[in-house]
Structure 1
Amino acid sequence: MTKGVLRHPLGDGIRAETAFHVLCGQSTDVFWLDGGPTSYLGAGEPFVPADGVLGALRGELSAPPRPSLALVGWLGYELLAETVGTMPGMGGRTSPHPDAAFLRVDRLVAVHSDGRAELVAAGERWEGELEQWRLRTIQLLEAGVTGDGADRADAGSADAELAAAVERATAPPPDPLREAHLPLEIIWRDTDAEYLAKIDACQSAIRAGDAYVLNLTTEITARGVIDPVAVYRELRQESPSEYGALLRIGGVSLLSASPEVFLEVGADGRVSTSPVKGTRARFPDPAADAREAEALADDPKERAENTMIVDLMRNDLTRVCVPGSVTVPSFLQVETHPHVHQLVSRVEGMLREGLGAVDAVEATFPAGSMTGTPKRSAIEILDLLEDRARGLYAGAFGFFAADGRAELAMTIRSIVVDSDGDSDSDTDSDSSYNGRSRATIGVGGGITALSVPSEELAETKLKAAALVRALRATEQAAPTAP
């Protein structure tokens, strides 16, 4: 475990977007946990366990190879093979991406919403390589913010190197989408008719007593010239979130404007989850907007769906929490975001002595809001209907800190960008935006016996709209069969 944490204040006037652009740019193996009162960004060493993800995480957190602040990364939906287990009716689908991918982080830049920033590092004192990193980072940030790096190019080789790095980092990134004037083609995995038929199948399973609620999802794919950093800049402007992130590990980028917490774990063992079930569009007119929020709060279908997921998460947390400690301090509250109103509840408890964040994940993953209830039956039904691996979508992302804390958000309202398997170009390099890439967006919603199929379809498209706009797809192509 880390014995010490060093902090170096950087003063005011630093923006998270500027800091990421200057320090990380198009580099591989970087992170930007964005939104809320503080954004954290930097680089790290990849940690991608191939087998036994939960055991590998426990081992890494209990005995890191060197002083550490946190593991930052994601858990893919197919990790359910470890947490829930495979069932006879499931197709044994595997994701094209690892079920878990993290960065070992021993230093980072923290940028607070008021403009203050600081360097944070695991260690006892600023010395050796850590001191070199501190000085270099300060130079780059000062030059990136003030733009004076190039003025020192003649002062010596070290400053010439600094000036060149700042010039590369602070120059506006290429914008191949605008230059080519070619909007990406958006392809839905399911046509409207196919998705409506799957909703009908969900309701048939519910009437048969096989489930109470099923979170049916589909997928959108786009192929073309995609710069993940540029897309994330668009996304955070289009749909700001307290749980946003840009994570790049290897050749895969996760861009998220998630509105939903999966798990929060405190150093004292307090654990909570905040399921979101129920979504309505915002309206420009304040009176109409307020009526829509009130309608959401009173909707019997949305309230029933949210209640069922709350009961599921209470049951999951009870498996790892002190008896009697699991409570629901917030129930069926409307939260308002830039484009939608959502119905949110909060469930919390106290982990039993000797248990930690990974144990909480094992008991609750995947989140009930992404499966339905009963969880095992819902997973099996959805696997058959969706006929695909969900991959990173419907999993979780965030951090496991060395001091026992963890914060994981749901991987929803997210775009995954990787190399285009149908292209001959290689996009795993630092200049990945120069090649062809594939972007995938998972989207869906909870189906109950009271669901109106046409409304569920409309809600799915509403959830996808901001993500499609961030990809600069000027219009959403009509859904077509794969």
Structure 2
Amino acid sequence: VPITGPFWTGAFSYDLVQWTQPIGLQYPPNEGELLSVLWRIDKCIVHCKETGMMKSNSIDEQWKELVDLCLSNHETIDIVPSVKPSNLPISNCTDEEHERIVETIHSAIKDGQLYQLNYGRSWEGQVASEPWDVLCHSVSSNPAPFSGFVHVKDEDLALICASPESLLSTNGDVITTAPIKGTRPRGASLAEELLLREDMISDRKERAEHRMLVDLMRNDVGVIAKPNQIWIERFDVETYAEVQHLVTRVKGRMKDGLDAFDAFQAVFPGGSITGCPRTVVCAAIDELEKQPRSFWTGSLGWFETTTNMSSWNIMIRTAELKKDTHGWRSRVTAGGGITIESNPKSEVAEAKWKANALLRSCGWMDDDRLSIPRGDLSVHSLPIEGDLKSTPSSNEIFTTEFKQDSVLLVDNLDSFTYNIAHMICGLGYDVNLVNGRGNGNDSAIDIIERLNPSHIILGPGPGWPKDSPLTMEFAKLALAGKLPPTLGICLGHQALGIAAGWPLIQSPSGPVHGTPVECLHNGQGLFSNLPHIKMTRYNSLSFLSSDNRDDSAVLIDATDATKSLVLAIRSKTYPVFGVQFHPESVGSQSGTLILDTFLNYEAHG
């Protein structure tokens, strides 16, 4: 831990989401419930896991000398941790109820309301062991790089966390987040482990979930980053005691005047334990789980105010212990990200499997760790996906005080909007970002007259175009030739199609979220001089190429590989375009070139 002086440490509960997202919880914490705990640390002992050495840290030199003397005489004693058997816990839902919830999420995905949602299921019961014994067993049986222990004795609360996932770290003005999605068990042999690893790397569902999360975290970092200063540092398979995961490290450079807590607010709670789009799924999680998450999926870590250094985990694989008149009572929660490809029975099995390590540490299951394939922690590098550039830009993103003659980007409550904004800045344009679903009484014409935009981009978002009246108004004006060059992305594309009279339906081939698909284009419009490409889709709703009519105001420039789903349209008369894919995604080939081509169009005379 690179600590140079006094610092703060503690934990924040997930339920603080009501302050970082614009939602009100239907199932809020009880009055007086602890939502966070922080201590100022003036004296501490740091144990280096790599060397096994322990060192003292304090500005009190006398204390340091005494502690260092004690440490020099310290003898390491190997202790085999054990926990006392306890009565079986009770789950907050049955397997059948869990499966029905997965099916409910599937219905919301098909209707275009969300892309992915992380659902959690709890087990709760009495624990015969003390919190420290539960921790020692957890560290021994299931070591993880972002483990932690919090014991608030005066509140009768203890948190035992065996998390493999970092929410964020800051060092000066650089923020790092490391989203995890994609899981396989360790193998009983090296050959089996390699097969399992390759299966994970090539699994379409796992890669789509991971890609979606990377795009989401790039967006969250982008909220506080300097223009076009977000980049992917590495993409790896990381192996832990019992599992292996896909992990990407996303970095960004914070805007001047911001600190570690601005960074924390921008990314909390983590995308891997909520889903996408963020605000929509946080509200849906509250409705489906019907109880506060408390500290599960919150964050535990530390920050140092003098250096702006910090490190926070995501509190998955966490047991929350509370003491009552009968002793300690624990709650363990586990879950997974539900996508359209999730199998309900498999999701139930995965939640139980993820909970097993802590269920054993609580004494609720036999200690069968010897029968589970295990291995050492290691990192295996993979090629970084995409060719996104992070060249510093002098252009800016304006969200309150706007700048005339800039690109206007309409935000439809999507979790990728800032990725689009930063890509525009990287291409040399200033961006005005306006809220498409809460813009007060301003009409599209009011906004045009006030800002005089050079170009307009109708952004993506959940739901149907009718959920964004402002976007529909812009779409109708664009096709009437009353706007500067206009591009609709995903929901914006759908708004243009509806304005042209095309019927929008649930895709007959099902939703596609986070997967690059073949884009068969005609080389016209935005696709001039482009070769065969694949672009990342995030949509459940589509136009069919069979609905194209000769008298339509728009024509088709691209379809999917089946030639039945429309992926791009273009006005026959004006510089107005729509794309049913996300050019800003890490999985989209030539996305920057497509956006650059659009921005080079000039307003029609």
Partner letter of residue 242 of structure 1?
Answer: P
Could you tell me which of 157, 160, 171 is aligned with 1:255? 160
- Provide the residue aligned with 2:293 in structure 1: 390
Verify: 1:100 aligned to 2:36, yes or no. yes
- Provide the residue aligned with 2:75 in structure 1: 145
Q: Any conservation in 2 of the 1:205–1:211 contact (CA below 8 Å)? A: yes
- Provide the residue aligned with 2:193 in structure 1: 289
SS of alignment partner, residue 319 of structure 1: helix
1:334/1:139 Cα in 2 relative to 1: closer, same or farther (>3 Å)? closer
Verify: 1:205 aligned to 2:135, yes or no. no
- Provide the residue aligned with 2:58 in structure 1: 121
**Pairing of 1:76-475 with structure 2 (within 5 A):** 76-87=13-24, 90-94=25-29, 97-112=33-48, 113-122=50-59, 126=61, 131=62, 133-134=63-64, 136-138=66-68, 140-141=70-71, 145=75, 178=84, 182-250=85-153, 251-266=156-171, 268-331=172-235, 333-402=236-305, 403-420=307-324, 424-425=325-326, 436-475=327-366
Partner letter of residue 108 of structure 1?
Answer: C
Partner letter of residue 451 of structure 1?
Answer: S
1:235/1:136 Cα in 2 relative to 1: closer, same or farther (>3 Å)? same
1:140/1:222 Cα in 2 relative to 1: closer, same or farther (>3 Å)? farther
SS of alignment partner, residue 75 of structure 2: helix
SS of alignment partner, residue 224 of structure 2: coil
> 1-side partners of 2:247 and 2:135: how far apart?
25
Deviating more after overlay: 387-396 vs 103-112: 103-112
Partner letter of residue 263 of structure 2?
Answer: A
For structure 2, list consecutive stretches of 5 or more residues without a partner in the other structure: 368-605
Percentage of pairs with the same residue? 29
1:269/1:39 Cα in 2 relative to 1: closer, same or farther (>3 Å)? closer
- Provide the residue aligned with 2:11 in structure 1: 74
> 1-side partners of 2:204 and 2:80: how far apart?
48
SS of alignment partner, residue 363 of structure 1: helix
Partner letter of residue 311 of structure 1?
Answer: D
TM-score after normalising by structure 2: 0.57
User: Structure 1 residue 410: deviation in Å?
Assistant: 0.6
User: Structure 1 residue 174: deviation in Å?
Assistant: 11
Partner letter of residue 75 of structure 1?
Answer: F
1:306/1:136 Cα in 2 relative to 1: closer, same or farther (>3 Å)? same
Compare CA radii of gyration and give the structure with the larger one.
2
User: Structure 1 residue 347: deviation in Å?
Assistant: 1.2
Q: Any conservation in 1 of the 2:186–2:244 contact (CA below 8 Å)? A: yes
> 1-side partners of 2:256 and 2:2: how far apart?
31
**Bigger RCO (CA 8 Å, 6+ sep):** 1
> 1-side partners of 2:315 and 2:308: how far apart?
22
**Deviations along 1:361-419, whole A, 9 cap, x unmatched?**
11111111111000010011111110010000011111011321000011011111111
SS of alignment partner, residue 329 of structure 1: strand
> 1-side partners of 2:128 and 2:73: how far apart?
30
> 1-side partners of 2:344 and 2:195: how far apart?
22
> 2-side partners of 1:379 and 1:247: how far apart?
26
1:448/1:142 Cα in 2 relative to 1: closer, same or farther (>3 Å)? same
Deviating more after overlay: 193-202 vs 281-290: 281-290
Q: Any conservation in 1 of the 2:179–2:249 contact (CA below 8 Å)? A: yes
User: Structure 1 residue 354: deviation in Å?
Assistant: 0.8
> Aligned pairs, how many?
362
Partner letter of residue 86 of structure 1?
Answer: I
SS of alignment partner, residue 57 of structure 2: strand
> 2-side partners of 1:174 and 1:446: how far apart?
32
Q: Any conservation in 2 of the 1:243–1:260 contact (CA below 8 Å)? A: yes
> 1-side partners of 2:81 and 2:214: how far apart?
45
User: Structure 1 residue 470: deviation in Å?
Assistant: 1.5
For structure 1, list consecutive stretches of 5 or more residues without a partner in the other structure: 1-37, 41-66, 147-169, 426-435, 477-482
